[in-house]
Structure formats: C-alpha cells, structure tokens
Amino acid sequence: MKKPFDFSGTKALIVGGASGLGKEIANALTAHGGDVILSSRDEQKLELISNEINDLDNTGVCSFAPVDVADSSSIKELMQQVSNISEGRLNILINSAGINIRNPIDKISIEDWESIHEINLTGAFLLNQLSFDLLRKADFGRVINITSIFSSVTYPDRAAYASSKGGLLMLSKTLALEWAKYNITVNTISPGPFLTEINTKVLDDPENYQKFCSRIPMTRFGEPNEIITSALFLASPMSSYVTGTDVIVDGGWTSA
C-alpha cells in the first residue's frame, strides 16, 4: 500500500475517547481520513473534544455518543447509535475505558473491587460482544483493547487493577481465536506510565513520580501522542496477519 495509514472510508468507535490515550488515537485516526465516534460518560466533554478535533481540519469526521460501560443497557443503546451513524458496519473498535483505585488488598473494599472489574473487564466484554455484528459486516475488522503493563507485571496496591487488566488481556486473546475466521483481528496495547489523567495521583507526588521513573529505562513517563503509531498499525488493513498480540509501549519497563 502506498499509504498504509490511509483510513478513508473506515468507521471507528473509541470508548474512553474523551481524554488521555483515547483522545490522541481519535485525533490521529481522523487526521488520516477515518470517521470516528467518541464515547464516554461525560457528554459535555465528548462534545467539546469532538468539536476540537473537527476544528483541526482533519479529513475524517469526529462525532460522539455517550455511554456508561458499567451499565449493559447503556452499552446496547450505544451500539444502536453506532449502527445508525456508521450505516450498520464498524471497522475499528478501540476500548480505552478504565479506572484505577489504588489500595493494598487489606484495604480494598468490595465496592471498589467490583467497580474496577465492572468497568475494566465486564464493560470491555460487553463492548466486544455487542460490536461483533457490526465488525463482521465491514470489509475488515480491528479490535484494540487498551490493557496495561499491569496485565503481565504488577506493583504494590494494584491487586484490583492488575487482575482486571490481566483478565482483559486473556479475553482479547480468546476473541482473537474465535473471530479470526471473520477477518476480525483482536489485539491489545499495554501502555506503561503515561502523562494522563489516570496517573494524576502519581504525578502529584514528586517523590513517588521519581520512584516510578527509576524503574523505567527511558527515565520518564510517556507522552500521550507516543501511543499513536502502535494504534494506527493495529487498526489498519496492513496488520491483517497480526492477531492475539499484545503491543507493549512502556519505555522499557517490562524489559528491565
């Protein structure tokens, strides 16, 4: 292909796309011609970000539809809206929704445990499941679930978060096997520490931030735009023989 990242005519849904890594990926896809639907709980923020992206004069169009991934009926409503906007097909699903509540296991409440798993794992399961019909009606299908390096390594106070992301990693690998015959690839991106909202607690504590950075060979957190190329590759037709793979973007953390 002369333009391997040409997404003209493709339809993408990014859940958790109103901030952080999802927002960066949305901007990149529209910049390369893809039409993107952003989704998250905050409708006002969705509208703001969607307008910001469209004001950049990208060749693709950004629209939005709200969802609460902790509510199965809300996800069903989202998929109906996506079907209407994208004319009954979907090329790309990117699930970037997630929360993290940090506590040692003796301090994790059952409510926090269930909330983390409901959003990070059960919500992801439903998004993938309910997107299936739209994905298989497209000329090609790409699913990218944003996991974390904590899906394969861990850190103190991350029992709930790491177990939810580990479950998402294995869910994705299983779907890769089930959906290969439909020309749908399912992969994950496991980011290390990035300068996004989910890491505010770490970033607000200079001592803790330096402690984290000491474990990273590149000695810094990633900039959100440094996720873009891995996402574009996995979302593109050029990655047609890549499925069940986890792309780690962590500044070398897991190699140290």
Mean pLDDT taken over the chain: 94
Rg, C-alpha atoms of the chain: 17
Asked if residue 40 has pLDDT above 70, the reply is yes
Which strands make up the sheet holding 62-64, listed edge to edge? Answer: 62-64, 35-39, 11-15, 92-95, 141-146, 184-191, 246-249
Asked if residue 231 has pLDDT above 80, the reply is yes
Q: What count of Cα atoms within 13 Å lies in the side-chain half-sphere of residue 22?
A: 31
When pLDDT is averaged across residues 98-118 and rounded to a whole number, the result is 95
Distance between CA atoms of residues 23 and 45, nearest Å: 11
Asked if residue 197 has pLDDT above 80, the reply is no
Token duo for residue 43: 């409708």
When pLDDT is averaged across residues 157-169 and rounded to a whole number, the result is 96
Question: In the prediction, which pLDDT does 209 show?
Answer: 82
Asked if residue 41 has pLDDT above 80, the reply is yes
Residue range 11-250 forms a domain whose CATH class is: alpha beta
When pLDDT is averaged across residues 38-66 and rounded to a whole number, the result is 95
User: Which are the catalytic amino acids?
Assistant: 161
Binned at pLDDT 50, 70 and 90, residue 57 comes out as: confident
Question: In the prediction, which pLDDT does 20 show?
Answer: 85
Each residue of 9-38: pLDDT tens digit? 999 999 998 888 999 999 999 999 999 999
Label residues 136-150 b or e (16+ Cβ within 10 Å = b): ebbebbbbbbbbbbb
Question: In the prediction, which pLDDT does 1 show?
Answer: 58
In terms of pLDDT, which residue wins out, 199 or 164?
164
Least confident span in 66-70, 192-196, 215-219: 192-196
Question: Which CA distances in Å does 88 have to 11, 60, 139?
Answer: 10, 18, 12
Token duo for residue 129: 């499941």
Q: Where are the beta strands (DSSP E) in the chain?
A: 11-15, 35-39, 62-64, 92-95, 141-146, 184-191, 246-249
State the first-to-last Cα distance of the chain, in angstroms, to the nearest integer.
36
